[in-house]
């Protein structure tokens, strides 16, 4: 690793924009899930466990995608420098990608750890019972895969803005992963059927739900009455892995193709 990894990690951890969106904003939603949305949840163990697992699935998405907005911002703002260093320093495009991704993943995992700890603490206070993940290793693996996916998605979107020379869209695009995460909330009320596998965001919340509760996730409509079709975990994981690899390949292609946008061009719009 070069000094880039350490300094980028330090810059991300101390980035006030990222701290606000990835920690303070997410804590607000943890409190909402516990005390507002959870006001009418029956207090028997099975119901609480299901509710906490569903909350965990949705909050993981919000938490990772909030952190991804900060990562997207740094990529767009330093795109000209990225192009330059990948050409004229020992940070080749693959090496840049590995170091940038490693530092970003470290941040995404720290943010997730803070969120999981606060979910356990806040929900324990609300329901007066401690709900812990049934399969912590599965949960860690899912969080890692989800973090890689969200990193790749936000890097892809940022580089697309740069390649298409569309600095006007920069601030909208950096929030797209967060917007998609909120749209994935629809699955709580709507049966997504086959789209449950197609949407990578739904796959993330379904896998987190599965490893937290030990139950099979459903295709959607968790909060609606009636019979629900269960999701196949292998198929769900395969869908998320495919999305992640596709995004990573696109990032590598765009990284070579882009020439960068100057900071002034972004400021001017």
Partner 1 sequence: MISVEGLEVSYGRFKEPVLKDVNAVFDGKSLILGPNGSGKTTLFRALCGLTNVRKGKILVDGVDVEEIYAKTGVVMANFPEVLSLLSIKVLDLIALYADLTGGDHAFAREILFDLGLNETLLKSKKLHELSAGQTKAVCTAIALSTRAKHALLDEPFEQLDPARKNRLIEHLRNYGGVIILNTHETWLIRNLANWKAFFMFEGALYGSVPVEDLLKAKFSFGEEAKTLFRMVVSGKAVSLVREGRGKPLLSLESLDKVYELALEGEKR
Q: Which residues of the chain form contacts with partner 1 (CB under 8 A)?
A: 2-4, 7-8, 10-11, 74, 77-78, 80-93, 95, 256, 259-260, 262-264
Min dist CB 71 to partner 1, Å, is 13
Q: Which residues contact 175 (CB under 8 A, 6 or more apart)?
A: 69
Asked if 231 and 197 count as a contact pair (C-beta separation under 8 A), the reply is yes
Q: How far is the CB of 93 from partner 1 (least distance, A)?
A: 6
Sign of torsion over alpha carbons 33, 128, 57, 18: positive
Based on CB atoms, which residue is closest to partner 1, 65 or 78?
78
Closest contact distance (angstroms) between CB of 114 and partner 1 is: 23
Instruction: Report which of 162, 181, 158, 160 is spatially closest to residue 74, judged by C-alpha positions.
Output: 158
Q: Given the complex with partner 1, which of 7 and 223 has the nearer CB atom? A: 7
Q: CA torsion angle for 74, 79, 84, 90 (degrees, to 10)?
A: 40
- The nearer residue to partner 1, 74 or 239, going by C-beta atoms, is 74
What CA–CA distance (Å, rounded) separates 187 from 193? 10
State how far the Cα of 220 lies from the Cα of 226, in Å rounded to an integer: 11
Taking the least distance from each CB to partner 1, the nearer of 48 and 73 is: 73
Residue 75 burial by CB count (10 A; 0-12/13-18/19+): exposed, middle or buried?
A: buried
Instruction: Dig out the tokens for 207 from the structure.
Output: 């896998």
Q: Which is nearer to partner 1, 15 or 239 (CB)?
A: 15
Pick the closer one to partner 1 by CB: 80 or 228.
80
Q: Return the residue matching tokens 């701290």.
A: 19
Q: H-helix or E-strand containing 9?
A: helix 3-13
Min dist. Cβ of residue 95 to partner 1 (A): 7
| Nearer of residues 69 and 205 to partner 1, judged by Cβ | 69
Instruction: Supply the minimum distance, in Å, between the C-beta of residue 180 and partner 1.
Output: 27
> At closest approach, how far in Å is the CB of 11 from partner 1?
5
Task: Provide, rounded to whole angstroms, the least separation between the CB of residue 138 and partner 1.
Answer: 35
The CA-to-CA distance between both ends of the chain, in Å, stands at 36
Which residues, including other chains, have CB under 8 Å from residue 135's CB and lie 6 or more apart? 211, 212, 214
């Amino acid at each position: 690793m070069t000094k880039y990894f350490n300094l980028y990690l330090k810059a991300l951890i101390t980035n006030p924009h990222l701290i606000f969106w990835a920690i303070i904003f997410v804590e607000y939603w943890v409190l909402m899930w516990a005390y507002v949305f959870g006001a009418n949840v029956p207090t028997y163990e099975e119901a609480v466990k299901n509710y906490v697992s569903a909350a965990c699935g949705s909050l993981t998405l919000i938490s990772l995608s909030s952190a991804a907005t900060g990562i997207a911002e740094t990529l767009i703002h330093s795109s000209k420098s990225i192009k330059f260093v990948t050409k004229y320093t020992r940070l080749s495009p693959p090496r840049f990608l590995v170091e940038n991704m490693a530092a970003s993943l470290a941040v995404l995992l720290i943010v997730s750890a803070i969120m999981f700890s606060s979910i356990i603490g806040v929900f324990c206070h609300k329901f007066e019972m401690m709900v812990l993940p049934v399969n912590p290793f599965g949960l860690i693996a899912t969080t890692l895969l989800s973090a890689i996916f969200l990193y790749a998605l936000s890097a892809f979107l940022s580089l697309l803005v740069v390649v298409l020379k569309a600095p006007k869209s920069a601030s909208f695009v950096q929030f797209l992963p967060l917007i998609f995460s909120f749209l994935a909330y629809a699955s709580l009320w709507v049966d997504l059927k086959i789209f449950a596998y197609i949407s990578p965001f739904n796959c993330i919340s379904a896998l987190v739900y599965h490893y937290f509760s030990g139950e099979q996730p459903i295709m959607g409509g968790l909060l609606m009455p009636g019979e629900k079709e269960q999701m196949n975990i292998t198929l769900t994981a395969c869908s998320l892995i495919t999305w992640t690899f596709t995004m990573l390949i696109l990032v590598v292609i765009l990284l070579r193709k882009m020439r960068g946008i100057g900071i002034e061009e972004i400021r001017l719009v």
